[in-house]
Amino acid sequence: LKFQWCGTQPAMGKKGGKKKGKAKKDEPVEKQRAFEEPDIQPSSKDNRRIKATVKLAAPVCNLLEFDMPCKPSTKISNIADAIIERHGGSIRDLSICVNRFHPEEIVSPEKSLEDYGVVGDCIIYYDFVATAAPLLC
């Protein structure tokens, strides 16, 4: 909420008859803010947009690469869901890394891109373990 002082403050004084001599004009008294208030917006109104390029870590395959427009506040789990959907739901247990793929840098699905320092375009690398399943169920 922002409060702003509008108008002028009337001069306080005695009521009475006219005084002899020159009449003084009432001068407006302006109130100034002691500090600037921050503009706070909920994360649902986050207007920042980034492009996350999602790539399979190994083997390199351009057919499995896609761009995903998102916000820095996007959770890693939402990106994992999009990857699984692109594979038709046939994969699980994803390992996801941001901007570099290394087993020690696998990110947590509960955190957001912004938690990992992403505020601009980025590359999301993913890998998964193939699981044996019957072709016909």
Q: Give the model confidence (pLDDT) of 84-136 as tens digits.
A: 999 888 888 899 999 999 989 999 999 999 999 998 899 999 999 776 666 65
User: Would the pLDDT of 29 be above 90?
Assistant: no
* The pLDDT value given to residue 89: 85
Beta bridge partners of 28: none
pTM: 0.63
Span 30-67, pLDDT tens digits: 555 566 776 666 656 668 899 999 999 988 888 889 99
DSSP state, 81? H
Going 76 to 78 to 79 to 83, the CA torsion angle's sign is positive
Cβ partners under 8 Å of residue 93, min gap 6: 128, 129, 131
Number of neighbouring beta carbons within 10 Å of residue 45: 6
| Under 8 Å between Cβ of 73 and 113 | yes
